[in-house]
């Protein structure tokens, strides 16, 4: 008699081995195919992982079913245990037939798997194909919004067209599945250009939005059309005729229609953002658009002062206008950050505007940006500001300003490589933004990567020939290299502005030619001014006094230093915490021979803002301190300070760029150290650093 079959023999009789092998091959083949196909239908990575887990979980289930049930000509039946006497001949023949069919199935699955492997080997790597599909999909959902034409008879309504464009652009930028080029890269194009395809290539987008705004009395007409650059085909167009009382939701309607036309999926939060109506007060909205147009002009003091006044008018007309309160808080914060007004009253106004926005709409991205701005610009808590801006970038991935501020913050935290990377990412969203290109140049200048700085500034000149600030930055680079003739060619004394004239003053100091600028500086000093206009006059007083001192006219210098000190005392009485004014007072005290008072003022600011807290401003302070120490003949301390600064990344002190060997050789502030051999050693260290920064 035949004994009871073994467990492994029973596994074989019940086809468990073959079912397991067939399931494993079929499951593997299924996973390979669907992970290639599902991304085409925008199925997320999470969905794909769930499918793989389901296939894996089915394997033990298939083995159990193969043990319990059997496939017969009569269908699927429960498998009976083999009797001790063995399987009957008829059943054995039937089982052999089933074995052959399972063998055919397994063979077919193996052939399919081999075919898939061969095809995959001959085709591009899966990652490459997926990346190409993702890149193509992203390109299809990329858009630039050209300046809206102002068709109003009253050309002073241009701000209204600018504001409408900005509002539509802001809403589009909040859609994470779109790639949106920022306003500053598009503002130099015409409203309805003939070369749409060329512009799209320059901006790296597939779609262009054109528009126009016509405002007449209480009526507004907005025309918009979405164009696919390839073939200049129109995807969508609409005309909105509204009264001023009913214009507030148009921007969200336009952004939503564009998202639909481009096939961009919207989250619930994004749909809420598009549907949001910021105010229903026409006067408030008009003032807001006026402030927005002014705010977009950049960091010129006059522009952000005027934009702040416009936002104040907006919230006065509608105290519940959260978005206007948020932008008002940012404008007020700039006043503090740039030293225009650091008084307690100004701090109170800034915080009140911010807290009002947070009370009205804490969920608004503009409100969250205003809080991050306050932490950065007012509290100067860079660690917290970095966290807040990183979170904003996740929620607002198309906002180039968020990335640029991240770059500024990282630079102040002395994380220069990360700062450079964030600036490059901002330029991808805003490739023709002159401010971002100049930011790249400044970061390269701070690190003494002279060649990279020149490249960024040459790009600015390609986009905006004759742009004055980039020419001044190029002049700084030539000054850092000691090439004064080339720097002079970029700095025409007759074109010196009434503010921000430090670069011209630096050139005169390095050339030791003081008289050509003296008359204009004296005129600025004599003009005086109130509020933010008072600072240039004080700076001019100090420059005139410095020139008189360096020219050997001691009595005239002391008189001018005295006038500057008197003006600074009055300003500091209103703004005792203003670091910029305090450093200017240190210059005045030094000029009057008050060594202890001058150094005490500088050391006080350095204690408040050490380089460990703010690498950029902290090193600017140390630069000024080293200059004063050199002038006062305190050689050991001065040399130690210069040795530290000669390889430290920073943008520059009171006059011209970060220290370089050429500046050590040319600047009159270091004349008292000329015969000290240690100065030559510091210069040699600086030369070695410049070579390293230049690369191979």
Which domain CATH number covers 656?
1.25.40
Of 228-237, 317-326, 427-436, the poorest mean pLDDT is in 228-237
Q: Are residues 291 and 370 in the same domain?
A: yes
Could you tell me whether strands 219-228 and 207-216 are parallel, antiparallel, or unpaired per DSSP bridges? antiparallel
- Residue 551 confidence (pLDDT): 94
Name the CA dihedral angle for 677, 681, 682, 683, rounded to a multiple of 10 degrees: 100
Domain-embedded: residue 562: yes
Question: What's the token pair of residue 181?
Answer: 């080029």
Q: How many CB atoms lie within 10 A of CB 624?
A: 23
Mean pLDDT (the chain) is: 83
Q: Are residues 303 and 241 in the same domain?
A: no
Q: Are residues 345 and 412 in the same domain?
A: yes
- Residue 592 confidence (pLDDT): 96
- Residue that finishes a domain, picked among 239, 256, 277: 277
- Residue 101 confidence (pLDDT): 60
Is residue 651 pLDDT above 60, yes or no?
yes
Most confident of 20-24, 282-286, 320-324: 320-324
Question: What's the token pair of residue 466?
Answer: 């004759």
Q: How far apart are CA 678 and CA 667, in angstroms?
A: 16
Is residue 130 pLDDT above 50, yes or no?
no
- More confident: 222 or 351: 351
- More confident: 372 or 11: 372
Is residue 99 pLDDT above 80, yes or no?
no
pTM over 0.85: no
Do 240 and 250 form a contact (C-beta atoms < 8 A)?
yes
- Residue 295 confidence (pLDDT): 82
* Interval 67-97: pLDDT, tens: 555 655 555 555 655 454 455 555 555 555 5
**What is the average pLDDT across 525-531?**
76
- Residue 337 confidence (pLDDT): 87
Could you tell me whether strands 75-78 and 69-72 are parallel, antiparallel, or unpaired per DSSP bridges? antiparallel
> Which residue from 176, 203, 397 is spatially nearest to 269, judged by alpha carbons?
176
Domain-embedded: residue 483: no
Within 8 A by CB and 6+ apart from 630, the residues are: 638, 642, 669, 670, 672, 673
Question: What's the token pair of residue 291?
Answer: 């402030």
Q: Are residues 232 and 371 in the same domain?
A: no
Of 321-325, 426-430, 458-462, the poorest mean pLDDT is in 426-430
Do 60 and 68 form a contact (C-beta atoms < 8 A)?
no
Q: How far apart are CA 436 and CA 396, in angstroms?
A: 18
- Residue 266 confidence (pLDDT): 77
Q: Are residues 424 and 533 in the same domain?
A: no
Q: Are residues 317 and 436 in the same domain?
A: yes
Q: Are residues 240 and 157 in the same domain?
A: yes
Q: How far apart are CA 411 and CA 392, in angstroms?
A: 19
Is residue 166 pLDDT above 50, yes or no?
yes
**What is the average pLDDT across 335-341?**
85
Q: How far apart are CA 546 and CA 566, in angstroms?
A: 16
Domain-embedded: residue 505: no
Most confident of 188-197, 239-248, 410-419: 410-419
- Residue 534 confidence (pLDDT): 75
- Residue that finishes a domain, picked among 247, 277, 307: 277
Q: Are residues 330 and 371 in the same domain?
A: yes
Q: Are residues 557 and 682 in the same domain?
A: yes
- Residue that finishes a domain, picked among 232, 260, 277: 277
- Residue 25 confidence (pLDDT): 61
3-class DSSP state for residue 149? strand
Q: Are residues 547 and 460 in the same domain?
A: no
Is residue 179 pLDDT above 90, yes or no?
no
- CA-angle at 442, arms to 521 and 602, nearest 5°: 60
Domain-embedded: residue 407: yes
**What is the average pLDDT across 276-298?**
85
Helices and strands in the chain, H and E counts: 32, 8
The CATH number covering residue 430 comes to: 1.25.40.10
Within 8 A by CB and 6+ apart from 205, the residues are: 139, 142, 143, 144, 179, 181, 229
Total tally of structural domains belonging to the chain: 4
Q: Are residues 561 and 689 in the same domain?
A: yes
Within 8 A by CB and 6+ apart from 553, the residues are: none
Q: How far apart are CA 632 and CA 539, in angstroms?
A: 22
Q: What percent of the chain has pLDDT over 90?
A: 45
Q: Are residues 404 and 289 in the same domain?
A: yes
Q: Half-sphere exposure of 635 toward its Cβ, with a 13 Å CA cutoff? A: 10
User: Which range marks the domain in which residue 569 is found?
Assistant: 510-694
Domain-embedded: residue 629: yes
3-class DSSP state for residue 380? coil
Question: What's the token pair of residue 372?
Answer: 């991050």
- Helices 322-337 and 344-360: angle between axes, nearest 10 degrees: 150
The CATH number covering residue 145 comes to: 3.40.50.10070
Domain-embedded: residue 610: yes
Domain-embedded: residue 351: yes
Question: What's the token pair of residue 447?
Answer: 């690190």
Domain-embedded: residue 651: yes
Is residue 542 pLDDT above 70, yes or no?
yes
Q: pLDDT band at residue 141, thresholds of 50, 70 and 90?
A: confident
Do 157 and 163 form a contact (C-beta atoms < 8 A)?
no
């Amino acid at each position: 008699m035949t004994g009871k079959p073994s467990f492994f023999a029973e596994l074989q009789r019940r086809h468990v081995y073959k079912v397991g092998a067939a399931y494993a091959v079929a499951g593997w083949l299924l996973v390979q195919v669907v992970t290639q196909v599902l991304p085409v239908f925008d199925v997320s990575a999470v969905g794909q992982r769930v499918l793989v887990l389901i296939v894996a979980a089915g394997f033990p289930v298939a083995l159990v079913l193969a043990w319990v049930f059997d496939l017969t000509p009569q269908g699927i039946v429960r498998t009976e245990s083999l009797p001790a006497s063995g399987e009957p001949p008829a059943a054995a023949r039937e089982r052999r037939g089933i074995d052959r069919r399972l063998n055919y199935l397994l063979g077919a699955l193996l052939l399919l798997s081999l075919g898939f492997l061969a095809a995959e080997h001959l085709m591009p790597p899966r990652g490459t194909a997926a990346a190409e599909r993702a890149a193509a999909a992203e390109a299809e959902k990329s858009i630039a919004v050209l300046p809206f034409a102002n068709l109003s008879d009253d050309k002073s309504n241009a701000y209204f067209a600018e504001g409408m464009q900005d509002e539509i652009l802001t809403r589009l930028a909040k859609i994470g599945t779109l790639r949106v080029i920022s306003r500053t890269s598009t503002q130099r194009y015409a409203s309805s250009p003939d070369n749409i395809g060329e512009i799209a290539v320059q901006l790296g987008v597939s779609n262009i939005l054109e528009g126009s705004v016509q405002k007449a009395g209480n009526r507004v007409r907005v025309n918009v059309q979405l164009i696919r650059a390839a073939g200049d085909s129109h995807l969508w167009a609409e005309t909105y005729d509204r009264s001023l009382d009913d214009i507030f939701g148009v921007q969200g309607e336009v952004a939503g229609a564009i998202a639909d036309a481009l096939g961009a999926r919207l989250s619930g939060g994004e749909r809420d953002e598009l549907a949001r109506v910021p105010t229903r007060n026409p006067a408030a909205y008009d003032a807001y658009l006026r402030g927005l147009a002014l705010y977009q002009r950049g960091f010129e003091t006059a522009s952000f002062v005027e934009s702040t006044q416009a936002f104040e008018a907006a919230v006065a007309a509608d105290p519940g206008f959260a978005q206007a309160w948020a932008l008002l808080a940012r404008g007020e914060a700039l006043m503090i950050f740039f030293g225009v007004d650091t008084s307690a009253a100004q701090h109170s106004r800034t915080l009140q505007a911010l807290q009002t926005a947070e009370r009205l709409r804490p969920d608004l991205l503009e409100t969250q940006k205003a809080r991050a701005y306050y932490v950065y610009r007012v509290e100067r808590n860079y660690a917290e500001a970095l966290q807040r801006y990183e979170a904003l970038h996740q929620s607002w991935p198309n906002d180039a300003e968020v990335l640029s501020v991240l770059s500024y913050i990282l630079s102040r935290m002395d994380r220069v490589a990360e700062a450079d990377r964030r600036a490059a990412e901002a330029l991808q969203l805003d490739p023709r933004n002159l401010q971002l290109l100049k930011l790249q140049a400044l970061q390269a200048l701070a690190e003494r990567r002279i060649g990279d700085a020149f490249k960024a500034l040459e790009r600015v000149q390609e986009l905006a020939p004759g742009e004055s600030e980039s020419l001044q930055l190029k002049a700084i680079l030539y000054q850092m290299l000691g090439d004064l003739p080339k720097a002079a060619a970029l700095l025409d004394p007759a074109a010196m502005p009434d503010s921000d004239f430090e670069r011209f003053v630096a050139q005169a100091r390095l050339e030791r030619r003081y008289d050509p600028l003296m008359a204009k500086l004296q005129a600025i000093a004599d003009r005086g001014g109130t509020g933010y206009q008072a600072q240039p006059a004080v700076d001019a007083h100090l420059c005139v006094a410095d020139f008189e001192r360096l020219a050997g006219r001691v009595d005239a210098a002391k008189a001018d230093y005295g006038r500057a000190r008197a003006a600074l005392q009055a300003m500091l009485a209103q703004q005792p915490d203003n670091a910029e004014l305090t450093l200017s007072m240190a210059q005045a005290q030094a000029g009057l021979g008050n060594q202890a008072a001058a150094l005490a003022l500088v050391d006080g600011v350095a204690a408040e803002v050490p380089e460990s807290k703010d690498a950029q401003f902290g090193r600017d302070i140390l630069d000024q301190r080293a200059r004063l120490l050199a002038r006062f003949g305190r050689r050991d301390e001065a040399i130690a300070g210069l040795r530290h600064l000669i390889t430290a990344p920073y943008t520059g002190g009171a006059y011209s760029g970060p220290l370089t060997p050429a500046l050590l050789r040319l600047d009159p502030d270091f004349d008292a150290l000329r015969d000290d051999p240690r100065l030559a050693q510091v210069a040699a260290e600086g030369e070695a650093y410049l070579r390293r920064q230049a690369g191979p």
